[in-house]
Amino acid sequence: MTGLKLFQGVTTKIDKIDEVRKSVMTNMRKLARLYLQFRNVKAKDAAFSDMLRRENVQQFQAAV
């Protein structure tokens, strides 16, 4: 869902579809790395949605 939103956000660049695809892939990799760091700080069984919850802000900041 997140990747789709990122892709739809930059689809106005129709003539640069490869550039858009690579940009979205880069952003998804960054999110994945951040999520892995968050899991190391919080717990191994933490879900991606846990990373975005308000009560986990301290752990999220530690991951960043």
Q: Crossing angle, helix 17-41 and helix 2-9, to 10 degrees? A: 140
**Domain layout of the chain by residue ranges:** 2-63
- With a threshold of 0.75, does the pTM exceed it? no
> Predicted confidence band at 29 (pLDDT cuts at 50, 70, 90)?
very high
- Per the structure block, which two tokens stand in for 31? 């999110």
Residue type at position 13: K
pLDDT at 14 over 70: no
SS3 55: helix
Tell me the DSSP string of 10-41. TTT-GGGHHHHHHHHHHHHHHHHHHHHHHHHH
pLDDT at 10 over 70: no
